[in-house]
Structure 1
Amino acid sequence: MDILRDAETYLRLHARLLDRYRFEALFRGGDRQRALDVLRTYQNADGGFGNALEPDLRGAGSQPEPVEVAFHILDELDAFSDPMVTAACDYLVSVTAEDGGVPFVLPSVRETPRAPWWETPDNPPGNLVPTASIAGLLHKHGVEHPWLGPATAFTWEAISRIKDETTPYTARAVVTFLELAPDRARAEAEYDRLKDAILATVSLDPDTPGAAHFPLDFAPSPSRLPWFESSVIERHLDALPGGRLPDGGWGINWTTWTPVVEHEWGGYLTVARLNTLRAYGRLS
């Protein structure tokens, strides 16, 4: 079994140019600038990202969530010095709600094709998805921007309101922020308070069908906070190669509402899964 070779074949058959260049830069010694140049085509004049960078948002216009997708790509390419970051932060300022966070999605989404879960009220408040993850990634890379202070304050306050229950995507955003926030004492205190609520959203059985969220979704690389026992992580790492599609990539386990998203997400996730295997020493 040659996981890299099989993944490369899958990407060549199905993936976007962006994800093929991500693979080349990360696993074949390719020029990361080629991936960055393609990512730049998804950025709009307002600094935000659109154009189906987040495949379930098909519209050209900017939305907050594609900024998170872009930042994860910039993070893996170690490219937070790229001007795309400042431009995106300027965009975030322009769409931030009064509470200091950016909304889950803006009302302009109604004018575009999108997955049915992208719905919003007319004046949406800030949301931990994607504010917390974006803020965490900016902290990780030491970015200074006027958006980050209020967004960080919003995130801490919103996390403090979580009690005994939360949802998987909110939990994943919280985990990202707590992993990366510079105030480690506060992060560890919230970890102690929220660990059980977070873990209640995780499927510990790697064979769980449907739209499940697994430990490696929360800890795609070794984490600072001990969310999972090492035996749990090892079990899911053992299972990860077996979850591939017959043509060598990894697919989605949520609703495919239009055919193109299956392979656009598949290409993105295939590179992400390879990153996880390498982060845990499962790829040479």
Structure 2
Amino acid sequence: MDVLDRAEGYLLRHGRLIDRLRFEALFRGGSRDRVLDALRPYQNPSDGGFGNALEPDLRGSGSQPEPVEVAFWILDELGAFDSPMVPAACDYLARVSAPGGGVPFVLPSVRDTPRAPWWETDDDPPGNLVPTASIAGLLHKNGGTHPWLAAATDFCWSRIAALEETSPYEARAVVTFLDLVPDRERAEAEFARLREAILATVTFDPYASGPVHFPLDFASAPLRLPLFEQDVLDRHLDALLATQAEDGGWSANWLVWTPVVQHEWGGYLTVQHLKTLRAYGRLPG
């Protein structure tokens, strides 16, 4: 049984409906519209934001910035940034942005909901490159024109220019932004300045355990930026294939703090890893 068949079996046994439909649309010729139909209930009509455990570690119904990023990655893989969900979500981002144009990592309203222990914040959180930079990058990639994007882009440039050291999640957001933003000269200059700091956050042992960040977490598809040599990527692609579990899925390497998230993340990551393998020509056919 090949990689796709095994993964499909895992998703049928354990995956959320949205991840099963993503798999069908991306790998089996299924309907893009059905994925969009499944995504819409995660968006809150009251404010345009996303919640409702689209990001599995945020269990509450209320909107938060990070689930907007999750939704935008799904819309990106479908080529669906023409969806009305996008401007509604951008309106939400504009309303919750901090002074300076960036959205916070998480809003204080998270305190009223079940969530993983790392979703904590001050009373008045500042804008953060996580998730502002990734969201802005995806909007640039897909021709976004919402007014929020200009302020968010200025915020990202300002914060990136001030960086000397970084952390894995922040580095991943920075890479996404610099890889997708239209001003290539400026992006390449900042990338050259920060490349070693970014690489310092990467775990290069492909079989390392725990909540580490591998090269393919930064480059889930080939980048325009010269971050990794091909031999590094090949070694990690080999490991990704080798670590597909007996049940056909891949699991999160961070804390499973409540049982339901094990397979909610497992289904999401299984589709993500299949996309990566295909992007690098590693899937059969």
What TM bracket, shorter-length normalisation? over 0.9
2 CA distance for matches of 1:260 and 1:175? 31
1 CA distance for matches of 2:243 and 2:115? 27
TM-score by length of 2: 0.98
2:163 is aligned to 162
2 CA distance for matches of 1:143 and 1:191? 23
2:30 is aligned to 30
Read off the aligned partner of 2:156 and give its amino acid letter: T
Q: Secondary structure at the match of 2:59?
A: coil
1:144 is aligned to 145
2 CA distance for matches of 1:245 and 1:166? 32
Residues 90-239 of structure 1: matches in 2 within 5 Å? Answer: 90-163=91-164, 165-239=165-239
Shift of 1:244: 1.7
Q: Superposition RMSD on alpha carbons, in Å?
A: 0.6
- Give unmatched runs, 5+ long, in structure 1: none
2:51 is aligned to 50
2:9 is aligned to 9
Q: Secondary structure at the match of 1:81?
A: coil
> Residue by residue, what CA displacement relative to the aligned partner does 1:118-168 show, whole Å, maximum 9, x if unpaired?
0000000000000000000000001100100000000000011111x2110
Shift of 1:245: 2.0
1:75 is aligned to 76
2 CA distance for matches of 1:143 and 1:159? 21
Read off the aligned partner of 1:58 and give its amino acid letter: R
Identity over aligned residues, as a percent?
Answer: 71
Read off the aligned partner of 1:102 and give its amino acid letter: V
1:61 is aligned to 62
Shift of 1:225: 0.6
Shift of 1:243: 1.4
> Residue by residue, what CA displacement relative to the aligned partner does 1:196-220 show, whole Å, maximum 9, x if unpaired?
0000000111011111100000000
Q: Secondary structure at the match of 2:42?
A: coil
Q: Secondary structure at the match of 2:147?
A: coil
2 CA distance for matches of 1:279 and 1:241? 14
Shift of 1:242: 1.3
> Residue by residue, what CA displacement relative to the aligned partner does 1:165-190 show, whole Å, maximum 9, x if unpaired?
21100000000000000000000001
Read off the aligned partner of 1:257 and give its amino acid letter: W
2 CA distance for matches of 1:41 and 1:101? 25
1 CA distance for matches of 2:142 and 2:22? 20
- Give unmatched runs, 5+ long, in structure 2: none
Read off the aligned partner of 2:86 and give its amino acid letter: V
Shift of 1:191: 0.7
Q: How many pairs are equivalent?
A: 283
2 CA distance for matches of 1:252 and 1:141? 28
Read off the aligned partner of 2:280 and give its amino acid letter: Y
Shift of 1:279: 0.4
Deviates more, 1:11-20 or 1:240-249: 240-249
